[in-house]
Chains A and B, each alone.
Chain A
Amino acid sequence: MKYFVRQAAFAVGVGILVAATSFGAAAQNPAEIAQRQELMKANGGAMRVLTPMVRGEAPWNAQAAGQAAASARDAATKAKALFPAGTGPDKGQTAALPAIWERKAEFDAIFDRQIAAASNLVTLAAANNEAGFKAGFAALGQSCGACHTPFRRPAN
C-alpha cells in the first residue's frame, strides 16, 4: 500500500513536471523563433550546394547555383522580418542575443547586405557568369559571419 502511494505520487509528480514543461515551452516560444531557425537551416543547405561549386570541387551548374542563391536571398528577406521585439532569449529558446534589439538598425543593415549579396549572385548565375559568381560568393559568407559574430550566442 505504502509502495503504491509512493508510486502514484511519483507518477503524478512526473505528470505535473511534463505538463509544466510542455505548457511552459508552448507558452514561451514565440512562433518567429522556429520560423527563422528553419530559414537559417535552408540557408545552410544553400551554402552546402554553393561551396563545392565555388571551390571547384563540383562542376559549375548555373541553374543550381541560381536556385541556391535565390533561396538564400528569399530566406534572408523573410528572416529579416522575423525578429520583432519580444522574440529574444528572455521569451524563448533562441541563440539570438539581446544585442539585436539594442542595435536593431545595425542588425537590419547586415540583413540588407546579405540580401544584396545573394541577389547579385542570382543575377550572375542567370548570366552564366561563373567567374563573377565565384568572386561574389565571398560577400555572402562575410555577411553571414558579420551577423553571427555580434548577434548570435556561441553554441555549446
Chain B
Amino acid sequence: MTWCARKVATSRLAGAFVLLLAFAGSASAQSGDAGRGEYIFAAGGCAGCHTDTKNNGQLLAGGRELKTPFGSFYGPNITAHPTAGIGTWSDADFIRAVRQGRRPDGAHYFPVFPYTSFTKISDADLVDLKTYIFSLPTSDRPNRPHDIGFPFNLRALQFGWKLLHFTPGAFRPDPSKSAQVNRGAYLTEALGHCAECHSPRNPLGGLDTAMLFAGDRNPPGGGRVPNITPDAETGIGKWSDGDLEDLLGSGMTPDGDSVGGEMGEVVAKSTSKLTPEDRKAMIAYLRQLKPIQNRVRGGGS
C-alpha cells in the first residue's frame, strides 16, 4: 500500500515535471533576462514605431504610420505571434534583423528601421530584449504594406543604400573617455538612436555624418528637430545640467513649456524610464560632442 501510494506520487510528480517542461517549451524557452530586456526596450524606444498609439493599438502590434519624403511606412507587428509577428524567430534571426537590417529570409529592411544605429547594440542586450518582447501578449494583426513609390519600394536596392550609408559593427568604448561618457555614448548612439532624428539627411535619406546631432530643419513629421550639440548659440551649450535632466526626465523645457510631438513620446516612453544615472550619462556624452553651429528655428523654412 505504501509502495503503491509512493509509486502514484512519483508518477504524478513526473507528470507535473513533464507539464512544466511543456509549458517552458511553449514560451519558446527564451534565454535572456526579461527584466533587463524591459529596460533595453525603454532605452531603445521600440514601442514608438511599433505601436499605433494614436488609434489605441496594442503594444508592438504595429500599424503606426511614419511619413517620409519617400512615402508612408507602417511599423510592423513585432509581438511573438507565430505568423503575424516574430514568434518563430531565433535569437540569431532577431540579432541579424536589428544589427544588420536583414529579415530572416535575407531581404533588406528599409532604413526607416534604424538598424544603422542599432548595429551598435550588444548581442547580450538583444537577447534580453527579445526575451522581454516574447513575454508580452501577442497580436494577430496583419502587417500593412508600406506605401512608397517606385523605385524606392525595391528592397533589392537597399543593398546599394547600405553600401553608401551603413557601417555595421559593435559599439566600441573610447578608452580616452570616462566610463560615464562611454555609457552615454552607448545609450545615445546605439539604443536611443537619437542621431536618426537629430541630424539632417541627404536626398537619399542617409544621415549627413558631418552634421550628426546638429538638428534637422525639415523633418518628415513637420516642425523642427533641435540641434543638441553643445553650440552656445544654436545648440544646448547654454542649457544647465538641470535643464537637460528635466527635459529627459519629464519633458519640461527651461522656458516653462514641455516638449510635445515626437520628443514628447520619446520622453514618456523612453528617457523618463531610464535611471537618473543613465540620463546623466547621456547628458555627459552630449556635452563632449563637437559644437556645430546650425540654426534650425526661425529665418523661414
Which A residues lie at the B interface, using CB under 8 A?
Answer: 43-48, 51, 55, 57, 99, 138, 141-142, 144-156
Residue contact A145 to B258, C-beta cutoff 8 Å: yes
Task: Please indicate the chain A residues that have their CB under 8 angstroms from the CB of B249 in the complex.
Answer: 138
CB-CB under 8 A for A154 and B258, given A141-B251, A144-B252, A145-B250 = no
Checking A44, A51, A154 against B260 with a beta-carbon cut-off of 8 angstroms, the contacting residue is A154
Complex interface residues of chain B between 215 and 257 (CB less than 8 A to chain A): 221-224, 242, 246, 249-252, 255-257
User: Residue-by-residue, is B266-301 near A (CB-CB < 8 Å gives 1, otherwise 0)?
Assistant: 011000100000000000000000000000010001
A141 to B272, CA, bound (A): 11
Task: Please indicate the chain B residues that have their CB under 8 angstroms from the CB of A47 in the complex.
Answer: 252, 256-257
* B6 at interface, CB cutoff 8 A: no
Residue contact A149 to B260, C-beta cutoff 8 Å: yes
Checking B256, B261, B301 against A149 with a beta-carbon cut-off of 8 angstroms, the contacting residue is B261
Residue contact A148 to B260, C-beta cutoff 8 Å: yes
Residue contact B268 to A51, C-beta cutoff 8 Å: no
Residue contact B246 to A148, C-beta cutoff 8 Å: no
Checking B242, B251, B256 against A145 with a beta-carbon cut-off of 8 angstroms, the contacting residue is B251
* B265 at interface, CB cutoff 8 A: yes
- With A48-B255, A145-B250 given, can you name 16 additional A-B contacts, CB distance below 8 Å? A44-B255, A138-B250, A141-B250, A141-B252, A144-B251, A145-B259, A148-B257, A148-B261, A149-B268, A152-B261, A153-B261, A154-B221, A154-B222, A154-B224, A155-B223, A156-B223
Task: Please indicate the chain B residues that have their CB under 8 angstroms from the CB of A147 in the complex.
Answer: 260
Residue contact A149 to B223, C-beta cutoff 8 Å: no
Task: Please indicate the chain A residues that have their CB under 8 angstroms from the CB of B246 in the complex.
Answer: 51, 55, 141
Query: Which 8 residue pairs of A and B lie closest in terms of their CB atoms, listed nearest first?
Result: A154-B223, A148-B260, A149-B264, A44-B256, A47-B256, A145-B251, A144-B258, A141-B250
Q: Number of B interface residues, CB 8 Å?
A: 27
Q: How far is the CB of B65 from chain A (nearest CB, A)?
A: 14
A156 to B298, CA, bound (A): 7
Task: Please indicate the chain A residues that have their CB under 8 angstroms from the CB of B177 in the complex.
Answer: none
Residue contact A141 to B224, C-beta cutoff 8 Å: no
Checking A45, A57, A153 against B223 with a beta-carbon cut-off of 8 angstroms, the contacting residue is A153
- Show 16 A/B contacts (Cβ-Cβ < 8 Å), sorted by A: A44-B255, A44-B256, A47-B252, A51-B256, A99-B54, A141-B252, A142-B272, A144-B258, A145-B258, A145-B259, A145-B268, A148-B251, A150-B53, A150-B54, A150-B260, A154-B260
Who on chain A is nearest to B272 by CB? A142
* B140 at interface, CB cutoff 8 A: no
A64 to B162, CA, bound (A): 57
Checking B53, B224, B242, B255 against A57 with a beta-carbon cut-off of 8 angstroms, the contacting residue is B242
Task: Please indicate the chain B residues that have their CB under 8 angstroms from the CB of A44 in the complex.
Answer: 255-257
* B147 at interface, CB cutoff 8 A: no
Residue contact A156 to B268, C-beta cutoff 8 Å: no
Residue contact A145 to B267, C-beta cutoff 8 Å: yes
Residue contact A156 to B260, C-beta cutoff 8 Å: no
Q: How far is the CB of B247 from chain A (nearest CB, A)?
A: 10
CB-CB under 8 A for A145 and B223, given A46-B256, A57-B242 = no
Task: Please indicate the chain B residues that have their CB under 8 angstroms from the CB of A148 in the complex.
Answer: 251, 257-261, 264
Most chain A CB within a 10 A radius of its CB, from B224, B257, B260: B260
Task: Please indicate the chain B residues that have their CB under 8 angstroms from the CB of A150 in the complex.
Answer: 53-54, 260
A51 to B268, CA, bound (A): 19
Who on chain A is nearest to B223 by CB? A154
A99 to B256, CA, bound (A): 24
A155 to B249, CA, bound (A): 21
Who on chain A is nearest to B250 by CB? A141
